[in-house]
Structure 1
Amino acid sequence: MDNNNDILDSDLESTGTSKQEEIIISENKFMFLCFISFGLYQVWWIYKAWRFFQQRENLDIIPAARAIFSIFFLHGLFERILSYASSKGYGKVFSPTSNYFGYILVSLLSRLPEPFWLITLMNFTFLIPAFRALNFAKMNSSDIRATFQNDFTGRQIALISFGGVFWFLVIAGLFFTDPALRNL
């Protein structure tokens, strides 16, 4: 009898009646996490986006490698997100090429002298249109159960703590070091 239940359960799972669960965070939380973590959260978000498409489309890719080497794969991710969001009724259009080059250009500003290199921390602004589009698509997809996350998770709190300590060290270094020592 238990064997029959196993057969029925496997049939239900194979028909695809269960929805994929996806966690959605707000745009403000996304921007805060990107800024406070000095861009580490961006890498995590890019990884999660590639992993979403890998699972959804059965892609033969390594999402972690695509996140780490995003300079080579970010444009493709933007195009994939825009295409998927458009198929779910997303009416806004953003330029994957412009956002890609904007992201790369602002990232390259890290070579500027102190304190101007801090401009690089704003490169996440070029991820926001794709972030909005992907969230819209997930919320409007019939095969995804989107859950809005109001509170910070334990990992996010750890990231905020790490970022807070790092921000303290950066600010202390900018204001409390002798300018002559900075060029050594």
Structure 2
Amino acid sequence: MSENLYAPPAAAVADAADEAATGTEFFVVGTTKLVLLYLATFGLYPVFWFYMHWARYKRFRRQDMWPAARALFAIFFTHELAGEIDERLHRSGIRYAWSPSLTATAFVVLTIVSTIASRVPEGVSRIADLLPVILLAPIAWTMVNMQRAANAACGQPDGASNRRLTWANWLWLVAGGFLWTMVLIGTFLPVP
């Protein structure tokens, strides 16, 4: 048997639609892992978190968008992400009690207040100095609400496929633990 040199390859090629159908539309992550990484990185984790949500959404929906821009300017795209998650829940027939608009608004407002407070010159007000740290908890709460909805929309209410800490996660946690120790020492030790 002679091979035809001009024939297309006979290898099976996966269809992009099949790949999109098997992936999740949104980023799935366990909420404990989300909170640990958010706190350890002093609130920098949302950049990665939003990027992953938008990158998955882009691939799944074959949308022309820039996930990195949506992650860096998250406050302008938070409502859209929450709305897309809620729409997916409704399309899938999943009953999930949450308010996407309220969750997104709370995230945006708390993030803006935290950013403004972190720009106040040190020593002007003890509350302004501590406000960015105090607001980490309520911001994390809004992210957990949105993540629980995204996990449910992807059929993984507990985020089972991504709830274990990887070696990279541990590196961030160790570095964050060191930074938190330095912040606490600097905050509570008396200045000579």
* TM-score class, shorter: 0.7 to 0.9
Tell me which of 153, 158, 162 is aligned to 1:137. Answer: 153
For residues 104 and 150 of structure 1, do their structure 2 counterparts lie closer, same or farther at Cα, with a shift above 3 Å needed?
closer
Aligned residue type for 2:179: F
Residue 187 of structure 2 corresponds to residue 154 of structure 1: no
Shift of 1:27: 1.4
> Which protein is richer in strand relative to its size?
1
Stretch deviating more after TM superposition (15-24 or 80-89) = 15-24
Shift of 1:82: 1.0
Unmatched 5+ residue regions in structure 1? 141-145
Tell me which of 63, 74, 79 is aligned to 2:78. Answer: 74
Matches of 2:83 and 2:163, distance apart in 1: 28
Unmatched 5+ residue regions in structure 2? 118-126
* 3-state secondary structure, aligned to 2:75: helix
Shift of 1:86: 2.2
Residue 130 of structure 2 corresponds to residue 126 of structure 1: no
Q: What is the TM-score of this pair, normalised by structure 1? A: 0.79
For residues 15 and 40 of structure 1, do their structure 2 counterparts lie closer, same or farther at Cα, with a shift above 3 Å needed?
closer
RMSD: 2.7
Contact 2:28 2:150 in 1 (8 A): no
Contact 2:86 2:149 in 1 (8 A): yes
Stretch deviating more after TM superposition (31-40 or 63-72) = 31-40
Alignment size in residue pairs: 172
Identity of aligned residues (%): 23
Matches of 1:121 and 1:24, distance apart in 2: 21
Matches of 2:149 and 2:190, distance apart in 1: 43
Tell me which of 54, 57, 61 is aligned to 1:53. Answer: 57
